[in-house]
Structure 1
Amino acid sequence: MNIAQETLSDRAHAMLRGDIVSGRLAPESRLRIAQLSETYGIGASPLREALSKLTSEFLVLFEPQRGFSVAPVSADELRDISRVRCELESEALHRAIEAGDDAWEAGIVAAYYALSKADTRRKNDPSEGSDSWEDKNRTFHEALVAACDSPWLKRLRSLIYYQHERYRRISLTNPDPARDLQAEHAAIMEATLARQAPEAIRLSKDHIDRTTQAVLKVLPA
């Protein structure tokens, strides 16, 4: 594969993953190469490579004779994903707290500040700020575990994060007005920076569980 084609494949992967996670490509919808090529302006070969990678990430299914389709969603899968995410996030956060230095702490504070600004924009204009908020939210949670000394743990955590984000976005159509996400993020940050690992892990698990319960309320049967 040449460099240009690899770049196109990476671009196709990023765009497809973003559209699947955001719900713009609905669960179980067929992914036809010709239609995707027209939509994204990318050739068939890079698209097939991107779809193959997304299959390995469990966001896309491939069936002989039927081709590619967006992976389905279900309440049982969400519960399983949430349990696994809690375990991976907890271990990664614990390791990060043990190994983190001043630069790690500064990265968390900077990510939280950016997330706070995005949260304000989202509240002022939900239609314009949701994607930006999701990006900043992902960056904040990545900053919390950035000092984790296990590359494989971080890779697996990143894989499950996108799966959970895909479900979380389903609940955006019916948000819980009583929930203060920024307060939850602030509490996790403060416990993490204070190196209070048990409390930070407890708050992180509670944060994930509350999101899961919110999604379950609106998840289609």
Structure 2
Amino acid sequence: MPDLMTDIGGEEVAPASTGEQAYERIRSDIIFGRLRPGQRLTLEKLRPAYGVGISTLREILSRLTPEGLVTAEGQRGFQVAPCSAEDLKEIAALRLLIEKDALVKSFQAGDMEWEGRVVASHHKLARLEASLLAGDASRTQQWKRYDWEFHQALVSACGSKAQLDIHSGIYDRYLRYQMVFVIFRGLVAADEHKALLECALKRDAQKAEAILERHVQGCLDFAFQNRLI
């Protein structure tokens, strides 16, 4: 029987295996830009860094390939998926397609528990955004985690686990661009998050869709106007 630990809800859960931990670390290192776009992933060099064997690493990188985070080069091995303007546009369009639909469903079905998740997640995000606006850039990764938690909370009552899983994967690919190219629009983005919160509490899905579209398009405009990509 595996060792057990207690999660925040009091339930006993099995800790992640070494291979699963390595998968999460590599995935996170790609999303947050510690492994750079186009970087060749040499198994021998990765092995000491992540503490797993060659076969486990090959399995992890193969698993990350259909997620769009790694590309396989046939006999030449693996590399971190490259970034491009066209890829970002496609990912942004997919995010909007999935998230807007989930947003409408979630606003229709959300209960008080859902409202609580939305309010709590926005509170953390707003506090961290205020810190960033004050000039503290030391918690960028935590900021994006809270950003994800807020957007995930907004759609969490949509009623479809499959849709949430697809949204999660697309969001992570979108997030990689934000982290690699340091896309932070400051007060504009923070105000859009506040407006989305207000829409959620009023169940105004139509206005929320428009704000979300402006939110994502603003990110693209910022990247392209500043020639980050």
- TM-score, structure 2 length as denominator? 0.87
Cα shift readout 1:162-189 (whole Å, capped 9, x = no counterpart) = 11111122342x6445x43221101011
The AA in structure 2 aligned to 1:82 is A
Question: Quick check: which one's helix share is greater?
Answer: 1
Q: Write the distance in 2 (CA, Å) between the matches of 1:108 and 1:194.
A: 12
Residue 124 of structure 1 and its aligned partner are, at CA, apart by 4.5
The runs of at least 4 consecutive aligned structure 1 residues that moved more than 6 Å come to 2-6
**Matches for 1:27-176 after TM superposition, within 5 Å:** 27-124=37-134, 126-172=136-182, 175-176=184-185
Q: In the alignment, what sits opposite 1:207?
A: 215
Q: Write the distance in 2 (CA, Å) between the matches of 1:23 and 1:147.
A: 31
Q: Is the alpha carbon distance of 1:36 and 1:170 closer, same or farther for their aligned partners in structure 2, counting shifts above 3 Å? A: same
* Structure 2 unmatched ranges of 5 or more: 4-13
* Structure 1 unmatched ranges of 5 or more: none
Q: Write the distance in 2 (CA, Å) between the matches of 1:83 and 1:219.
A: 20
Sequence identity percentage: 33
Cα shift readout 1:105-148 (whole Å, capped 9, x = no counterpart) = 00000000111222233345544210110111111111001101
Q: In the alignment, what sits opposite 2:203?
A: 195
Contact 2:102/2:163 (8 A) holds in 1: yes
The AA in structure 2 aligned to 1:113 is H
- TM-score, structure 1 length as denominator? 0.90
Q: In the alignment, what sits opposite 2:7?
A: none
Q: In the alignment, what sits opposite 2:194?
A: 186
Number of aligned pairs? Answer: 218
Q: Is the alpha carbon distance of 1:219 and 1:11 closer, same or farther for their aligned partners in structure 2, counting shifts above 3 Å? A: farther
Cα-Cα RMSD: 2.2
Secondary structure of 1:128's match? coil
Q: Write the distance in 2 (CA, Å) between the matches of 1:42 and 1:107.
A: 37
The AA in structure 1 aligned to 2:172 is Y
